[in-house]
Structures are given as structure tokens and as C-alpha cells.
Structure 1
Amino acid sequence: MRFLIVRTDIRAVPTDQLAAAWADGEPVRDEQVAPEPRRQTVCAEDRDAAMVLARAFSAVGAVRAGRQRVKVVRLSEPSDRPFRPDRRVSGNRPSSLDRALSLDRTVNAGPAPRPERTANPVPRQRTEPPARFGRHHGVNSDTGTM
């Protein structure tokens, strides 16, 4: 299923027009007749990728300030076979955007297992602190004076 993610300006609707549309049960605006001015659009191949891109658009200052909004519009119904570009023909590695939009998602199984710890064959030597500190800071261990 394909999605369109759109970042648009917010247009105010007069109260009387809003009340009339609500009473008739119709949408306030028909996007096919008078589309909103579009600032930025991106397509995604599945819902998860569309949500990731919508969250990225939501971080834009104008959206956070309330001057613009982000809409996710479904373009097509689910099909039997999902759209998958054949990357073997080009021979190129997929870009980071291709990986974000791909349908082949693997479940993160967590971090890699840690290797087993083995005993160190050489024991660590305990070292005494430097002689200038003595056993009790400031006390000379030989004479017992400061």
C-alpha cells in the first residue's frame, strides 16, 4: 500500500462554512478541486515508513509552531504483491532512504551476545600506594610521625 506524506500550510475555515459542512456531513474542502498549497511531499511504500517520515516532518519548526501540518494520505489499496523495486539490476547498494522505505524489515533481536569470559592465566599483582602517601595519609610508616 502506498502513502503520500504532505507538509502543508494551515488555512483557516470561516465558522459559517464549517457549520454548513458539518450539518451536511460533507468535508469542508475537496482537495481534488482546490488543493492546499503544498510545501513538501514524499511517498512511502508502507505505513511504518510513512509514520517515520511524518515524524521527521513534524520536527520542522513551522509544524511545531502550528503554522503548518503534516498529513498522511493513503494512495492505493493493499495489493497481493507489494511493490518492491528490483535492486539487483542496478547493482548499487540501497541508500539510507531506500532502507527506511523498504518492506523487508527485520525484528531487532537485541544486542549481540557477549563472548564467554575466560579466566586470566596471569593473576593481577596487587600494588601498594606510592610511599609518599603512607598508610594513613600524612603519617610516615617508618617513624610513625608526620
Structure 2
Amino acid sequence: MIHLSTEKIDVMALWEQAHHPAAGGVVLFSGEVRNNHQGKEVSHLSYEAAEQMANKMIAALLDEAKQRWELQVAIAVHRLGKVSVMETAVVVITAAAHRAEAYAANQYIIDRIKHHVPLWKCEHFVDGERAWGGHCSCKQKSTGNIEP
């Protein structure tokens, strides 16, 4: 599966792939582009990646999460290129026998993607300025079953 896309992410098509007869809990996280950051109006974001490495790392991360939380399904897709306000930048879907595992695995996957996969975000502001990086507000701390 390709985990990076320059096309709009079809969240509903991914959702359709996420169902499994042994899964009692399915969790979908969708990271959306908002119209502001630190008091400045955002026009859009752009993402770049070391694509081959990023795709392999996401695939390995999904395999790890499947084993660790006994997931029936683990899906992750991240956008590359220009992503407009209110568009989806990243989707993670996890399905497990129980909701606790599906939630824990989902958070683990998105946090690992943001902290470890070679993806870079540039925020483009309405005033013409732009800023690279400094975008991840997630905390790398142990919460329940999640370990950094």
C-alpha cells in the first residue's frame, strides 16, 4: 500500500477498508488543515518527504502496531504537496477487537509519524510569510499503553 499521496485523501474510501468481522472498535483520526496558527491566518500547508524512506517507515510502523495491539486493520495515508484549509493532511485508521487497543494504537501511529517519519511541513500564511517545521503539538510522553 502507498502511504503518501499528492491527491486528496478519500477518507470514506479508507473507512470502507477499515471494517473487519473480528473488530469491535474502529478509530479514525483525520488531521485537517486549519485556517490559523499562533494568531496568523494560514492560506495552506505544503508537505515534502523523503518518499521512499517515509513509505517504508510508515509500513513498518503499521506492522509493528498490528502486532503490538493485535489489530485487524491499520491504515495510514499522509498528503504531500499543497494542502488547502479544511482538507485532510493525514489519516490513521485502526481496528481491533476492543476500543482501548484501537485508540492506543491510533495515537501511537500518528505520534510516531509526526516525530519519526521524514515528512516536513511548511505553513503558508495569507500575508505571504511561510514557516517550516515547528508544527507538532503532540507530546512524546507515556500515556497508558503508549510509549515514545
Q: TM-score, normalised by structure 2?
A: 0.24
Which structure shows the higher strand fraction?
2
Say which one has the larger Rg: 1
Which structure shows the higher helix fraction?
2
